[in-house]
Amino acid sequence: MRIGELAARAGVSVRSLRYYEEQGLLTSLRSPRGHRRYSDSQVERVVLIQRLFAAGLSSRTIVDLLPCVDSPSEDTSEAAVERMRHERDRLDRHIEDLVHTRKMLDELIAANRAHRAVLART
């Protein structure tokens, strides 16, 4: 399939697909006219890449994880698992920070409401 069809099927922009190729996340074959050609399996790969980006992983980290997806082996699996653990721990810390920030915002909202209630009584 051509780049536009892959973009439509995967729900991403053509520009994103070109970026994924530049970063080594995605590969294509070239037609005699130089057009990119993708296999049907690339749709799933793009969806996986999108999910990993949505989880906060960088393209560099994703590149490190993809060998485990492409050709699982004892070596690639262990390295990928260790990298995923590291990323999961990073996400856990980020989630804790976000929960703390949300709590602080809730307290500010409550203080603002209380202040506005006092002003309304005067």
Q: How confident is the model at residue 119 (pLDDT cuts 50, 70, 90)?
A: very high
Residue 24 and residue 95: Cα distance in Å, rounded?
Answer: 29
Please give the Cα distance from 25 to 36 (Å, whole number). Answer: 15
Q: What average pLDDT does this structure show over 89-105? A: 95
For the chain, how long is the longest CA-to-CA vector?
79
According to CATH, the topology of domain 1-54 is Multidrug-efflux Transporter Regulator; Chain: A; Domain 2 (1.10.1660)
Interior angle at CA 49, CA 102 and CA 41, nearest 5: 145
Residue 72 pLDDT more than 80? no
pLDDT of residue 93: 94
Neighbours of 113 (CB within 10 A): 10
pLDDT tens digit string along 37-57? 999 999 999 999 999 999 888
The pLDDT value recorded for residue 24 is 93
pLDDT, mean of residues 99-104: 98
Which backbone phi and psi does 24 adopt, to 5 degrees? Answer: 80, 15
In this predicted structure, what is the pLDDT of residue 84?
Answer: 83
Instruction: Outline which parts of the chain fall under CATH 1.10.1660.10.
Output: 1-54
Q: Which is more confidently placed, 22 or 67?
A: 22
DSSP string, 65-101: HHHHHHS--HHHHHHHHHHHHHHHHHHHHHHHHHHHH
Asked if residue 82 has pLDDT above 90, the reply is: no
Between CA 16 and CA 72 the distance in angstroms is 26
Q: How far apart are CA 54 and CA 68, in angstroms?
A: 19
**Residues 52, 62: contact at Cβ < 8 Å?**
yes
Return the pLDDT at 105: 98
